[in-house]
Amino acid sequence: MKATEGNVRRGPSLTHRIDWVFKRRDMPLQVTAEHGHWRKVQDRDGAGGWVHYALLSGVRTVLVEKDMMPIYSSADPQSTISAHFELGVVARLGSCVQDWCRISAGGYRGWAPKTDLWGVAPKELRD
């Protein structure tokens, strides 16, 4: 979500009723359908609907799903812990290998297990 606030509509046009208002900038959303300039999206809880594409960003973010999740200096649980992220933190997604992704938030960055993140597919690889 690029905007700080975005109306989520029942259908792909301004004439459709607003069902939700997303109010969290950078919130990761999953695009499930497209129709012209409209994208059908859903959040981690499955809530969603249609938003105008101008409200969405191409920057990938993820949601931390584990409270006080350790962030490691490398994709290895034996490496140094560089920070802990609280449950619900929105982090920018970097590269991903088989079971780990590099993420950053609040000036901290490091590697986290994919299983503790929402917004990245289990088999997704990123350079």
The CA–CA distances, whole Å, from 66 to 5, 26, 31, 76, 85 equal: 26, 19, 23, 18, 8
pLDDT tens, position by position, 19-30: 989 888 899 999
Domains and CATH numbers, the chain: 6-58 (2.30.30.40), 62-118 (2.30.30.40)
Q: For residue range 92-117, list pLDDT tens digits in order.
A: 999 999 999 999 999 999 999 999 99
pLDDT attached to residue 1: 85
Model pLDDT, residue 24: 87
What radius of gyration, in Å, describes the C-alpha atoms of the chain?
16
**Residue 41 neighbours by CB under 8 Å, 6+ apart:** 8, 29, 30, 31, 32, 48, 49, 50, 51, 56
Q: What is the mean pLDDT of residues 67-85?
A: 97
Given a cut of 90, whether residue 3 has pLDDT beyond it is no
* Closest alpha carbon to 106 in 83, 74, 76, 81: 83
37 CB-near residues (< 8 Å, 6+ apart):
52, 53, 54
